[in-house]
A = this chain, B = another copy of it.
Amino acid sequence: MPDALTATDDVHHVDDSALRAFFGYRMKRSFNVIQADLALALKPFELRMLTFTALTLVVSNPGLRQSQLAEAMDVERPNLVTIVEELVRRDLISKERVPTDRRAYSLQATRQGRMLCAEATMAVTAHEEALLGGLGEEIRAGAIEAMNRIEQGRQRD
Q: Could you tell me which A residues sit within 8 Å of B by CB distance?
A: 2, 8-9, 12, 14-19, 21-38, 49, 53, 56-57, 59-61, 64, 68-69, 71-72, 74, 100, 121, 124-125, 128, 130-136, 138-151, 153-157
Contact = CB atoms under 8 A, between A and B. Distances in A.
A32 B31 CA distance: 11
A134 B149 contact: yes
A60 B18 CA distance: 7
A24 B128 CA distance: 8
Contacts of A148: 26, 30
Nearest to A67: B2
A61 B150 contact: no
Contacts of A151: 26, 29-30, 33
Contacts of A156: 134
Contacts of A12: 61
A145 B139 contact: yes
Given A19-B53, A141-B142, A144-B23, A33 B150 contact: yes
Interface centre among A53, A57, A154 (most CB of B within 10 A): A154
